[in-house]
Every structure is written in C-alpha cells, then in structure tokens.
Amino acid sequence: MPWPRKLRLTTLAVMVLIATPAYSAADNADAAVTASKTPAPTEFVTQHSATFNGRKLKYRARAGETYLYDESEKPSAALFSFDYVAIDDGKDRPVTFVWNGGPGSASLWLHMGTFGPKRVVVPSNAEHAGAPPYPLVESRETILDVTDLVFIDPVGTGFSRALGDHDGKEFWGLTEDAESIAAFIRRWLTVNQRWNSPKFLLGESYGTTRAALIADILENDHSVALNGIVFISQALDYAGSTPYVADNLISHITYVPTMAATAYYHQRVDAQGASLEEWVQAARDFAVDELLPALFKGNTLDSNTRARVRDELARLTGLTPEYVEKANLRVPGTRFAKELLRDQGMIVGSLDARYLGDPVDDLTARADFDAASNAISGAYKAAMMSYLQSDLGVNWDRAYLSPADPRLSDEWNWNPEGRDKAWEPHWVNTSHNLVSAMEANPGLKVLVASGYYDLVTPFFDAEYTLNRYGISADRVDYRYYGGGHMMYVNEDARLDLLQDIRSFLKSQMD
C-alpha cells in the first residue's frame, strides 16, 4: 500500500487533453511509425507554482499514458504516470521514479501520503480518519525541491491497461512487472531527454521487491546507471515476512523486535525505564542469541532453557508465558495482532500496530481485518480522486483501479523464470538482483526506511536480509520511524522521512 501548512497552488496554464507530439512519439523510428497509426496516448498537462522546503518552484504536472511496444512494434500496454517536472531548472536535475507495492497497488499511497505536491491529512495518532471530507493540503516538505518525481501505476492498477490483443496477465508477474516498469523508465528518459540526469528509484513494500529487480535490469540490461534506491518497508526476501507458515523459523525471529515495539507502545510490558530503542535492541539480541538456537534445537531443547526462553519472549512481547508455551515458542505476527489485547477485546493493526480494531468475534486466533487499512483507505482514495479532477484536470471516464483489476492477484506469476517454465517453488527473494545491480555500479547506495510498528514487513527483516549478502555496510543506510508500513501517516515520522530522503539524494549527487 500499500501512507503543512497551507500554501495556495496556482494553476498557470490550461489542461491539455491528448499527448503532445514530443511525448507520444516512441523512442525509435519504427515505433514512431506505429504510433502514427494508433490513437495518441491520453495525457492531461497543467502548470503550477508552489513552495517546497522553502524553495519556490514552477513545475509541470503531466498525468498521462506512456505506451510500451511489443516485438511487432505495436502498443502492448499504456502505463499511466504522474510526472512532476521543474520548469527551467536544467536537464541535469535529478528524477526519482516512485511506485507502491501489492502487487496490485496503484501509487496513490506514496503520492497522496507525502511525496506528491499535495497530500491528504489523516490523524497522526492512529485514530480512524472518519468520514469525508478529508483535508487536502500543500505538501510543502516533500522532496520536489531537489528532484523531479514520476509516480508509476503498473498495468492493472490506476489508469494503466494492457492494449490491443494483449492481456493484463502478460504483465502480472515478478519478472514481467519489473520488465514493463524498466521499459517505461527507459522510454521516459529518452522522450524527456533525461539520460544524463541523476536517477533514483523509490518503492514501498512489494515496490521494494520490484525496485531490486528493476535496478538489476536497468544496470545490467539497459546500461542505465542509478544514483540510489530508497526502500520504504523493505520486502526483498519473503522468508522474513511470512509469519503464517508454521515451520518458517526465520519469521519467528524477524518479528520479535516489532512485537516488542508494539507491546511497548501499548504499555503491555514493564520496560523499567528503557527507551523504545533500548527495548527493541534487547529484543534483537534475545531473538538472535537465545530464541533462534532454541528453535533450531526443536524437541531436543532442555526444559530449563525452554522455560527461560519462554519467559523472556513473554516479557518482551507482552504475552503470557502460558500462551507462548502453547505456541511452542513460535508466535506468528498474524496471531500476535489478535492476542496482545485480547483481554480488552481489541486487535492491533497489521500495517501499523498503533491502530486498534474491535472485532465482532473475539475468539478467533487471527484478526479478520486490518485496523490500519480500514482507518485510512477511504481517505486516500477520496483524496486521490478529488485531486485528479481539481488540480490535474483529469476528467476521464476510465475507472481508476485502486484496488487493482480483480484478476490480478489470482493470475500473478511468482515464477522468476517465466509463466510457462518449470520451477521448484521457493521464497520470493530479489536480494540477489540488488547485489547484481550494486556490483555493476559501485556508486549505487540504498536507504532503507522502516516503521517500528509494521507487522507486515518487520524492520528486523530488513537488517537480516541486507546484512548477509556481502554488501558493504557503508552502502546501506537504515532509518527507523515511529509509525508502521506507511510511517508517513505519523506526522513526526513523515517529516523525518522526507528529510532523511532529501539528505540521501543530495549525498548521492555530490
């Protein structure tokens, strides 16, 4: 998902429907001929002026399609993007390509959460956003002062669609999806004459899975050098973020610090004056030094060690020793969300464990809904649809798919070798692709942004994943925030996240 003060944004030009020749032409002669025989990509262009991080900026907003072409040079898909490009600021200005995850999520979460020129305001303290209207304000702290931004909706999300005889499932897959976005980036750079601009990727959740693959494709297949990658709520190796598989020992380790942080937040532990960071560090140490060896030993673990590990796991996570014992020292994050506040008849959110929900059935082992998603989804969708019309002039009868095309999830191809190739299933893991991209480009660095209360992609999994592939420690920067999966819902975390990313982008252009 996918999560300021006011300054009036002035529209300086009228909206333009249908692509201009400079944008609708493909990046080679054959494709240009093909484009002349098909309708031009639809686009809506406006010009604006606003102040970001103290810098007044004139910029062009383009909300529109970019065609991808098949081997016969016929349009195969129309990828819709939202491009915010500074006017008269030079061709060497950085550009950052942004997307959300899912798979099957449009980019509205990052777009309307904080990175776009405007954002929706939801309660910072994890309360439900309530009913409309929702405040839509200038996102004055966003990073448009230092980089152009291109928000991309993959095929089957937002306004992006397969074209002609092509079907959406041709683009719905681990590799297929990444290749289509990489092709979009290459075409965007060509059409906009931006090959020599500093280039960054920014993805959230599955969007980080995608970003690692795209970085590998760009660096090694297209010779597109990147300056940096931002992972928000990292998900490269799914072993550490799949808590519902009983024999997956890794997730029983990676989730412990997040469960400890959540219990700390809801005051279900006696922290004895420890800070959140100290409490989390104690959970890290325990998970690696005591719980992991105990789980590895299985039924050969001696009773004294078992009792000590059981009691410490209960102490750190706010659960009872009896529950931990019945769970056989294996507490899935999915069950923790229901168990922590069971005595109050409440559940904690999965995307952000600060949020609370009141389930009808108090007896189930797992939560039946995500309190965090329920609290903000309506606000984000309403804000996006309103912004499309009021600011970007997008008046179109095409449905904006968020959620995605209903077929996408069932038809998604997780086989990295291709839909029709033999494959022995294993955890999704694009860490090797990141390593390949970083080997090809020694200057490429990564910023990893994680929320303490994320029960979907736990922050300790990011550390576990990226610390074990031989990547030099000085090429990965970890940052932590007092929120969840969409940490920018928390106002303090939002401001810190933007400043950290701004500093990262600047450091990679020095």
Same domain for 59 and 175, yes or no, is: yes
pLDDT at 484: 98
Q: Residue 488 sits in a domain of what CATH number?
A: 3.40.50.1820
Strands 43-52 and 55-69: antiparallel
Residue 342 within a domain: no
Are residues 164 and 75 in contact, defined by beta-carbon separation less than 8 angstroms?
yes
303 and 225 within one domain:
no
Domain boundary among 291, 310, 325: 325
Please state, in angstroms and rounded to a whole number, the distance separating the CA atoms of residues 160 and 155: 5
Q: Which of 80, 77, 58 is nearest to 67 (CA)?
A: 77
Does some domain include residue 340?
no
Q: Does some domain include residue 41?
A: yes
The string of pLDDT tens digits covering residues 224-272 is 999 999 999 999 999 999 988 888 999 999 999 999 999 999 999 999 9
Whether residues 275 and 229 share a domain: the answer is no
471 in the same domain as 412:
yes
- pLDDT value, residue 304: 98
Amino acid at 115: F
At residue 416, the pLDDT reads 87
Residues 141 and 220 in one domain: yes
Residue 446 lies in a domain: yes
pLDDT tens digits, one per residue of 16-33:
333 333 333 334 433 443
The answer as to whether 417 is a domain residue is: yes
Residue 111 and residue 46 share a domain: yes
Within-domain flag for 479: yes
Does one domain contain both 231 and 263?
no
Same domain? For 120 and 210 the reply is yes
Nearest to 81 by CA among 171, 172, 187: 187
Single out the residue in 308, 325, 342 at which a domain terminates.
Answer: 325
Shared domain for 223 and 261, answered yes or no, is: no
Secondary structure string (H, E, C) spanning 123-191: CCCCCCCCCCCCCEEECCCCHHHCCEEEEEECCCCECCEECCCCCHHHCCEHHHHHHHHHHHHHHHHHH
120: alpha, beta or left? (left if phi > 0; alpha if psi -120 to 50): beta
For residue 418, the model assigns a pLDDT of 81
pLDDT at 78: 97
Domain final residue pick, 292, 325, 358: 325
Residues 147 and 225 in one domain: yes
Residues recorded for the chain = 510
Residue 9's pLDDT is 27
Indicate the pairing of strand 16-17 with strand 10-11. unpaired
Q: Is residue 341 part of a domain?
A: no
If asked whether residues 67 and 171 sit together in one domain, one would say yes
Nearest partner of 481 among 505, 452, 443, judged by Cα: 452
Residue 316 lies in domain? 256-325
Give per-10-residue mean pLDDT for the chain (510 aa): 31 30 37 56 96 96 97 95 91 93 96 97 97 96 98 98 95 97 97 96 98 98 97 96 88 97 98 97 98 97 98 98 97 96 97 97 93 97 96 95 96 88 84 97 98 98 95 96 98 98 95
Give the pLDDT of residue 37.
Answer: 62
Considering the domain boundaries, does residue 416 fall inside one?
yes
Report how many domains make up the chain: 2
Tell me, yes or no, whether 207 and 286 share the same domain.
no
CB 153 within 8 A of CB 106: yes
